[in-house]
Chains A and B, each alone.
Chain A
Amino acid sequence: MGDKTITNLKLYAAKSRRNVLRMIQAGGCGHIGGAFSCIDIITALYFYKMNIDPANPKKPDRDRFLLSAGHKCMAQYGVLAERGFFDKKILDTYGKLNSKLPGHPDMHKLNGVEGNTGALGHGLSLACGMALGLRSRGSDSTVYVVMGDGELAEGSNWEAAAAAAHHNIENLVAFVDKNGLQISGKTSDIMNFEPLDKRFEAFGWNVMEVDGNDMEQIIELMDRLPLKNGKPTLVVANTVKAKGLSLGEGKVAYHYWKPSKEELETVIRETEEIIHHLESTVKEVS
């Protein structure tokens, strides 16, 4: 793996975004809004934080990553491809018949995927079980899960939230990708879950907060995880929907995006400029 400096991590995130655009190019459309809001966190997990090995994706003592909001899977695919879990040519099969990259992830099709999420409100229970199972067999692995903020209205999340605290599942870290928008509008208007921090604290969780699109803040936070104080940890990640997509940032219309050829060419060019700039910075530093 390359260097773990902030600039390098920003570069991996930009390249992962470029991978997402390559998938959009292949399939013609996709859930880009949520993918781009959580991709910086997923990049930091795979390139900086987690004990994983692309050459040995099933090694028993690996950390686990689950994307509970499975519709954001292009973010995970983009990062997995960049991290070397699969050949980038597979990105060009997105949206095609029998692709290993379905619109919601399938663990039996792609190395690195740990669960078949997509129906919302499943990831936290699965993560609880994984963390409990790892703890029971004496492993010190951690389970990381990324949830959407709109997803929190699913009651099953709160079953899992209670269970994780009751059973002191400290090797569980859940991020809420709080981009504040869901299909029908603002999450706070559709079903308000504020104060989110107080709600999870009341359930018995550690609660932390981060700017989920600021790599420096993310890394600072990652260095503190997992807290190992007998409680599961929730990270409220304040993010921007479609972050990095200049024409769509913070706009609910970009929850699912079917770009014109010109739009796609524009954002690919912009993303490649960012990559070029970051690569130059990395070279200068080295």
Chain B
Amino acid sequence: MEPLLQVRDLSVRFDSDEGSVHAVDGMSLELAWGQVLGIVGESGCGKSVTALSILGLLPKTATVTGSVRFDGEELLGASGSQLRKIRGRQISFVFQEPMTSLNPVLRIGHQIEEVLREHLSLSRSAAKKRVVELLDLVHIPDPGRRIDEYPHQLSGGMRQRVVIAMALACDPKILIADEPTTALDVTIQAGILDLLRELRARLGTAIILITHNLGVVADLADRVVVMYAGRKAEEAAVAELFAHPQHPYTIGLLGAVPRAGSARNGRLQEIPGRVPSLAELPAHCAFADRCTRADEQSWSSVPELRLVRPDHTVACFHPGER
């Protein structure tokens, strides 16, 4: 079966007075129906830009090339009206900070209703009924009363649930969640992760989960893409990736996180140096200057993605677990 979403050779460049920045370079992704795809990376690796470009949400300064096919339809270069039919209806977004997605002066019920009326042309009473159902779906207690509240009356966790309810209003095929739990406390995060898992199981919504948190990916994703400096560094199924990481960057990230018990007596693994500037794409491996495995080859050409284990691709000349 054709994948639900297929991103091919996506590149994004931002032009400004101070020169251009290559935020994403030659990214390819596939998302199967009902799958949870985790995209992990540190700030500036291009994970959010990749997601935004799928729905044409980048500012005009961005030059996007490549192809984004959703359910057989090409989205790159699609017209505004065509995209509006897909945004929020077929593919919807949940962002890190719920307050950026909610209008502070409108009651939450009204805001969700708006989505329903816009996309599904429901009548006012039908929309209202559906809003209550949606709030109930995301486990907001006493939804009938909550619809009349304003965002500031809700806690951070509840707001994020409202945003998720809004994103699910039209029963989308894909939910893109960009750091959905980063602004939340751990006990609240646990609840949101459980909710996303439950929604995927109940509604079959595919999820693109963008995060810097390897624990969140380990919790929810079926498949993981690790990004570094605008490119894909590694991709595999979640169990495979955590058990047999091949790219030195992935290995570094895993070693850098303090864990229960294991790091107590040892040191955390450091990745020396810093993420490279994206002003010009290096003609060599972008990770070379921080990598102990780098050699002449790493400094002279860009490693292509290749299959090193079953269903496990890596962009590194010297892949391996150690």
Tell whether A and B belong to one assembly: no
- A-side residues, CB < 8 A to B, are none
